[in-house]
Amino acid sequence: MGVDVLLELAASMVPERVALGPHAGGMTFAELAERSAAGAGLLLAEGGRSVAYVGVNGPSFNVAVFASALAGLPMTPLNYRLPDGDLGALIDRLEDPVVLVDDDMRARLPGRQRLFSTAGWLAQTATAEPVSLPPPDDDAIAAVLFTSGTTAAPKGVVLRHGNLTSYVLQTVELLVADDEDCALVAVPPYHIAGVATVLTNTYAGRRMVHLPAFTAESWLDIAATESVSHAMVVPTMLARVVEHLEAATDAPKLPALRSIAYGGARISPSILERALAAFPAAGFVNAYGLTETSSTIAVLGPDDHRMAMGSDDPVWRARLASAGRAVPGIEFAVRDPYGALLPPGQTGELWVRGAQVAGEYVGLGTGLDAEGWFPTRDRAHIDADGYLFVEGRDDDTIIRGGENIAPAEVEDVLLTHPSVRDAAVVGLPDEEWGQQICAVVVLSASDTKATAEERAEIVRAYASSRLRSSRAPSSVLVWQELPYTPSGKLLRRTIIGSLTAESDNPIAATTDTPANGGS
């Protein structure tokens, strides 16, 4: 069954309930269904074979998700923060896409055919003729989402209708929300959570409001004015909100806020404890999932948070840092590098199985093994009661503020500096961002009078001028040499180990973390 059925059910049962936007004057579920069918007609009239969405989150994205499904077209929300060339290259990888683009981003896509303005297209869906086509099969592709990837070329993750609907049916009760519920969406459309939130909230019958550009102040404002009951944030956003609340005495109170879900990156224990204190009436939910698993596969629920906070039992205390337990329909296995199953408590690679697990990439085929298991590349262990602890990426991707950064990308820039002989970039634990980017460089011999500190600072400034702020190293350290295996493989873990263990830093140049998310 296709994701269109999720909307069809909500629209048939609560047609007059507001689905999108403000309580007064928002779009109802019946209107969302009608406009999605009209939008499908508009997309098909362009003669494309897929849909690309280049824009911030908002009602037009929700309509586009269902319109694409009704039209039988795979849809791809794209990271509008990418440089123009990278953005264009990803669109070029899609099959004859109809492109929906925000007006203020249109100039970034010169020479594109089949282009719609998101606002113009949404307006047209009010009057265009609805279409009725055979519904998409389980096997039809619902979405292709690009990972930021660990290599230069991002991978296109294929999510089929069967994967996404399995996820929703297993984890959400139809119309579990009531008239007063409201979900606040602050994640961008190109994040798997940005897609999943459209589906789960629609099936739950929960009104959604959007915050396209996050600041702590605007988040608190919209949460107050829209009486938001459910919010989902990445840890970096939660940190900002908590800091704002701790500093401001006149911040709005949020009596309607019942649920705060966070995920997408590691959260620092101190931020979480401060958030729990800042919102004592809200239930906290830690969600863990991957693009390849159609969003959430493990949940640490409000009761778990309360138990962990209030307990003297070290086993329970530890679970505040856990991702919780598998959602229904999902199985976990922790395996060693040879594929052997590891017992509870032992760390290995997390493998997952279930109908929502897609594990498939455009042009590469399935990543599932013969029994349907998918290797997540995350290092994890599971305790005796099934609580999952994710310890980081199995590979070396740095996850800073929810954004994946390949060390190689940063190293390549560092190595273009004439004084840099060798470079390694690693992620170090960071309270605010989950991880911070640290570069360790080996400098070539020099006859300049500059000190090592001064040379490190030159390299740091050089990298900052050539990388987006979210990808520039926040510190650059100078070492005499980097550790390698005899076979020439860089020992990143050794670097991380020595950096997190020692307090007397070697020669370093550091900078304050950029004030905004960096883009």
Binding residues (CB under 8 A) for another protein: these are: 1-2, 5, 8-9, 12-13, 135, 137-138, 162, 165-166, 169, 171-176, 183, 193, 196-197, 200-201, 204, 206, 230, 232, 259, 261, 263, 283, 285, 287, 295-296, 299, 301-302, 327-328, 355
Compute the least distance from the CB of residue 363 to another protein, in Å: 26
Residue 18: CB minimum distance to another protein, A: 18
Between residues 342 and 355, which has the closer beta carbon with respect to another protein? 355
Task: Give, to the nearest 10 degrees, the angle between helix 235-247 and helix 269-278.
Answer: 50
Q: Assess contact for 439 and 420: CB atoms under 8 A.
A: no
Report CA 395 to chain centroid distance, whole Å: 18
| Strand bridging mode 259-263 / 283-290 | parallel
Nearest to another protein of 176, 450 (CB atom): 176
The 3-class SS string of 128-186 reads: CCCCCCCCCCCCCEEEEEECCCCCCCCCEEEEEHHHHHHHHHHHCCCCCCCCCCEEEEC
Q: Which of 518, 308, 319, 325 is nearest to 410 (CA)?
A: 518
For another protein, which is the closer residue by CB, 116 or 203?
A: 203
Q: Residue 463 Cβ, how far from another protein at the closest point, in Å?
A: 34
Q: Which is nearer to another protein, 299 or 463 (CB)?
A: 299
Amino acid identity for residue 93 in this structure:
R
For another protein, give the closer residue by CB, 36 or 201: 201
Nearer to another protein, 175 or 342 (CB): 175
**CA torsion sign, 116 to 64 to 162 to 198?**
positive
Q: Which is nearer to another protein, 241 or 323 (CB)?
A: 323
Neighbours of 383 (CB within 10 A): 15
Task: Give the integer Cα–Cα distance in Å for 81 and 54.
Answer: 10
Cβ 49 to another protein, closest distance in Å?
21
Eight-class DSSP state of 477: E
Question: Of the two residues 80 and 167, which places its CB atom closer to another protein in the complex?
Answer: 167
- Whether residue 475 contacts residue 424, with contact meaning beta carbons closer than 8 Å, is answered with no
Could you tell me the smallest distance in angstroms from the CB atom of residue 287 to another protein? Answer: 4
Phi, psi of 300 (to 5 degrees): -105, 110
Rounded to the nearest whole angstrom, what is the least distance from the CB of residue 470 to another protein in the complex?
A: 23
CB of 420 to another protein, least distance (A): 41
Judged by CB, which is closer to another protein: 182, or 420? Answer: 182
Query: Minimum distance from CB of 185 to another protein (Å)?
Result: 9
The 3-class SS string of 388-402 reads EEEEEECCCCEEECC
Min dist CB 388 to another protein, Å, is 14
Helix (H), strand (E) at residue 365: strand 365-366
Record the tokens describing residue 45, joined without a space.
């009239």
- Minimum CB separation of residue 66 from another protein in Å reads 16
Residue in this structure with the two tokens 């996850």, named with its chain if needed? 399
206 or 455: CB nearest another protein = 206
Look at residues 58, 66, 14, 32 and name the one whose alpha carbon lies nearest to residue 180.
14
Q: What is the DSSP secondary-structure string of 412-454?
A: HHHTTSTTEEEEEEEEEEETTTEEEEEEEEEEPP--S---HHH
- The residue among 87 and 234 lying less far from another protein, judged by its C-beta, is 234
CA nearest 443: which of 474, 422, 413, 414? 422
Give the span between the Cα atoms of 6 and 173, in whole angstroms.
11
Q: Measured from the CB of residue 169, what is the shortest distance to another protein in angstroms?
A: 6
